[in-house]
Structure 1
């Protein structure tokens, strides 16, 4: 990608529709358990000279590898159980059983985010223990190394309830305003916005995945042009993007919701019948 044009990447200068530039960061090599990932990322980023307002997107796989979040592949089903707090939906298909679960971090996703791609044969990768904390550790190292106010996103690939295919989203973030509530502002026609709140961190993660790809071995992408969303390190992380149970209109799969409702109704009917019989 060509060098940035002067004046296009200054923090605070960007408004919606401003130019966005992304670089695939190569040369990191294979990440192993115990590696100093923040330092490795900093070394790989050095030729690009990170500056104020940049956002660094790191795939969760390399974070998991560095943190030792690896288990034997034959423990996959047990690992899903260990990483889950509840079953959302389960479906049998010719290839086996797909389980949609709520992860211990609040994310709702297939197989608790456990993945066998881009890892050694016979192993699986679990999601990082705390992706926001991982992002913060990387951000602290980068800010110290380059003297630049950069944000960091830890990304992972998720399916979508209403659409076919997968996209990358932010499961961890630091130094970034992950959400941009626009309620009260006016649209282009002067009408007030009511519930609009772009998930900035997810959109950046998705854009970065277009550059990184799924099979090119690119675990880090540098994004330039989002400086107005970069913030202090105490800004809430990606957990802010997890919908609360009270606001979740699709907390169960259809079959599971029916079964739960049927069981509750049957129990209520039985209790009522027993009460009438003894009265």
Structure 2
């Protein structure tokens, strides 16, 4: 068994209106690489937000009273605190240098997923407005041009409860189910699995993050080749929302 990760160099700094699918395919041509059936493309959410013009000008925000309160508690500027409030539907926990919130999408993460890195001074990129839709648009164009079936994952770097460090996490998907329900299968001793569900989209996003890096690596797109369960999970109706645990089952909240 083999899983291959291919970081795509040559992706430029994106601007509003850039077509990500075209840019990826052009970069592949420059490197004499091709798309194959079953490839999973993991794309950093920052370049998606940039191409969609989803950028926050922090200087244009007028911080609210709550923003000043959060700023005092966290050490963040009132402007970034206001941006986090605007991108959230619930503030869950506040601590030194972090604000845990539930985003408009339903993700629970630090600072509403707003990123101040790899963007100009005084600017920040929130998560794409519709990450599943963004993944779908990119996938459909790549499939139409290449004739190959692929999946697309939009990834973000997020921390995890009870563990240090951040990893790649899926926030949008198209082309394959993000969860692999293995209930009913047998383990090595013939026992039937009763509760096993695998967050394959998150696993793939985390794997791609190794090549993407978190600083100046400049690899916002990674192809993962050799995903042997691709056909089993292939679908045109995937949504990352199936990864989100309903609040009534979230014992930590």
Q: Which has the larger radius of gyration?
A: 1
- The question of a shared fold, defined as TM-score above 0.5 by the shorter chain, is answered with yes
Q: 4+ residue runs of structure 1 moved beyond 4 angstroms? A: 230-233
Q: 8 Å contact 2:176–2:236 — kept in the other structure?
A: no
Q: Is the aligned partner of 1:56 residue 2:41?
A: yes
Q: 8 Å contact 2:139–2:175 — kept in the other structure?
A: yes
User: Residue 245 of structure 1 aligns with which residue?
Assistant: 247
Q: 8 Å contact 1:185–1:192 — kept in the other structure?
A: yes
Residue 155 of structure 1 deviates from its aligned partner by: 0.2
1-side partners of 2:226 and 2:142: how far apart? Answer: 18
Q: 1:181 to 1:233 in 2, by over 3 A?
A: closer
2-side partners of 1:243 and 1:229: how far apart? Answer: 23
Q: 1:233 to 1:142 in 2, by over 3 A?
A: farther
Q: Deviations over 1:224-264 (max 9, x none)?
A: 0115325555232212111111211112xxxxxxxxxxxxx
Q: 8 Å contact 1:177–1:236 — kept in the other structure?
A: yes
CA RMSD of aligned residues (A): 1.4
User: Residue 74 of structure 2 aligns with which residue?
Assistant: none
1-side partners of 2:239 and 2:109: how far apart? Answer: 19
Residue 124 of structure 1 deviates from its aligned partner by: 0.7
Q: Report how many aligned residue pairs link the two structures.
A: 230
Q: 8 Å contact 1:83–1:112 — kept in the other structure?
A: yes
Q: 1:48 to 1:130 in 2, by over 3 A?
A: same
Q: Which moved more, 1:136-145 or 1:225-234?
A: 225-234
Q: 8 Å contact 2:58–2:83 — kept in the other structure?
A: no
2-side partners of 1:26 and 1:117: how far apart? Answer: 19
Aligned residue for 1:183, secondary structure, equals coil
5+ residue gaps, structure 2, are 60-78
TM-score where L is the length of structure 2: 0.87
Q: 8 Å contact 1:33–1:68 — kept in the other structure?
A: yes
Q: Which moved more, 1:131-140 or 1:233-242?
A: 233-242
User: Residue 30 of structure 1 aligns with which residue?
Assistant: 13
Aligned residue for 1:141, secondary structure, equals helix
Q: Deviations over 1:117-152 (max 9, x none)?
A: 111122111110010000000100110111000100
5+ residue gaps, structure 1, are 1-17, 252-279
2-side partners of 1:227 and 1:110: how far apart? Answer: 33
